[in-house]
A and B are shown apart, each in its own frame.
Chain A
Amino acid sequence: MNPTIDYSLHLADSTLILAQRNAEWCGHGPILEQDIAITNITLDLLGQSRNFYQYAASLIGEGSTEDSLAYLRKEREFKNLLLCEQQNGDWAQTVLKQFFFSVYQQLLFDKLQSCSDEQLAAIAAKSLKEVNYHVRWSSEWVIRLGDGTEESHSRMLKAIDALWQYTGEMFIPAKYEVTIDPSTIKDSWLQKVNTVLNEAGLPLPGKVFMQTGGKEGKHTEQLGYILTELQYMQRAYPNSEW
């Protein structure tokens, strides 16, 4: 198996699943401007995932398309990070999840844009411009809530508690991650996250057991529910089109 196919699918799955999660906020955001912000970010992530799926489909051939990859693969075939599939919880947990992921994407795409695979490099360069906005937006929210009221501060603490255990997986390379070794961005990620948490008056968590498996298709309970909703139409009415 060509590692680039799996790698593209991994990048596509993470962005698709987080997009699907964020989309749950559509029409439910705390205020209109932030409803629009999170759905804008969702749109960017969805666009990125389409680019990665299209590339994977072109490498796979055999009639595979971006749609067949998104709608017809099973849970065990999805290679997204566990972080991306976690529940939104409250606004604090949503923005913290986005923050952890966006900082990771920013560092990863910064390297990926100069990799030898031209298409991956092009997608990364394109996406990076969008991710820079996501990092800024989510950082500001982490600080605003962490350094806000007693209530918002305690919610950020809870969010860190819920999500930190899923961050270690990002930097442990899967077999197919040969293009960029993700362990090389770990220190920069910790540094950036630490800077923002510090500004927010939030502690950088100590050592905890890190959950792994998403990159190899072993997921938490959450992914099944997401796929059930995401894939329902294609499963119930095969080949249906808008």
Chain B
Amino acid sequence: MEEKKEHILSLLREIPDPEVPVLTIEDLGVLRDVRINGDEVEVVITPTYSGCPAMDTIRMQIRLALMEHGYTNNKITMLLSPAWTTEWMSESGKEKLKAYGIAPPNPKQQVCEPQEQLFAAAEAVQCPLCESWNTRRISEFGSTACKALYQCNECREPFDYFKCH
């Protein structure tokens, strides 16, 4: 049983996120569990954002990977609770993000707090290219639900910041 679970995990671990292909679904913390119920394989995943369109693709990739290896009796369960958080992102995932040009989520930022100060840009986000902390937020929302848009004041490069969530 454990062996089977490990085998399935090893198949799923490598599945890339369709939007940020340097990250796997394990790096992201989207892959939560694999359960073996008799003949059935149940994969538990959690969405990053409620409306993340990548989830459908991820589901399909999981299903294909399972089918390819003969696990035809499978079920994918979407778990909302506990809610996904960037704290589940692996350290290697954060390094891969940075190398890809996306600033990884800070451990904890004030934007996460409901009673934050408006217009407060005091939170420092490091430029993933020149590593300067002298950066500014251009938009709270970026190219995907999980990212915000920043620009470096030193090297002038615009970059995505993976929001703390």
A residues sitting closer than 8 Å to B (CB atoms) are 33-34, 36-37, 40-41, 43-48, 50-51, 106, 110, 118-119, 121-123, 125-130, 132-133, 135-137, 139-140, 143, 196, 199
Contact = CB atoms under 8 A, between A and B. Distances in A.
Nearest to A132: B114
A123 B141 contact: no
Nearest to A121: B81
A132 B47 CA distance: 17
A133 B33 CA distance: 29
B140 A137 contact: yes
A32 to B, nearest CB: 9
Contacts of A128: 114
Contacts of A34: 139
A interface: dominant SS: helix
A128 B85 CA distance: 12
A47 B80 contact: no
A43 B81 contact: no
A130 B139 contact: no
B140 A44 contact: no
Contacts, number: 92
Interface in B72-107: 80-85
A135 B142 CA distance: 17
A136 B83 contact: no
Interface stretch (B11-19, B37-45, B49-57, B122-130): B49-57
A32 B45 CA distance: 33
A36 B145 CA distance: 10
B149 interface: yes
A139 B163 CA distance: 19
B88 to A, nearest CB: 13
B118 interface: yes
B111 interface: yes
B1 interface: no
Contacts of A119: 80
Interface of B: 47, 49-53, 80-85, 111-114, 116, 118-119, 138-143, 145, 149, 163, 165
B80 A123 contact: yes
B50 A37 contact: no
Contacts of A40: 141-142, 145
Contacts of B142: 36, 40
A122 B47 CA distance: 12
A136 B111 contact: yes
B80 A122 contact: yes
A50 B51 CA distance: 8
A123 B107 CA distance: 24
A199 B52 CA distance: 34
A126 B138 contact: no
A127 B81 contact: no
A121 B145 CA distance: 22
Contacts of B139: 33-34, 36-37
A119 B112 CA distance: 23
Given A43-B51, A136-B116, A140-B118, A126 B80 contact: yes
